[in-house]
Amino acid sequence: MQSFFERRPPALDTDQPSTRHLQDLIRRQTPVAIKVLGHSELEGTIQWQDMDYLALNPGEGRPLTLIRRSSASVIRPLV
């Protein structure tokens, strides 16, 4: 049980269709292209999501790229 002084962040709302769709892309490891505001498209597979960020795995042993959810303008599957 949460104490009066303990503050927990809000949970990811899995009832939202967009959240469920992203979870499906993560589960299936579907390659995606993400258009980030002010930048070109980034390609890879989404590894995880939380309230603020998406973790994109660009592959080939490169490190994960964190993308702020509010800066992703388009997420489209590549298959």
What are the sequence ranges of the domains in the chain? 32-77
pTM, two decimal places = 0.82
Strand order in the sheet with 31-36: 65-68, 53-57, 41-49, 31-36, 72-77
Predicted confidence (pLDDT) per residue in 28-37, tens digit: 999 999 999 9
How many Å separate Cα 55 from the centre of its chain? 5
Separation between Cα atoms, residue 32 and residue 6, nearest integer Å: 37
Q: Looking at domain 32-77, does it have CATH number 3.40.50.150?
A: no
Separation between Cα atoms, residue 42 and residue 33, nearest integer Å: 6
Predicted confidence (pLDDT) per residue in 14-53, tens digit: 788 989 999 999 999 999 999 999 888 999 999 999 999 9
Per-residue model confidence (pLDDT) at position 39: 84
Residue pair 30/79 in contact (Cβ under 8 Å)? The answer is yes
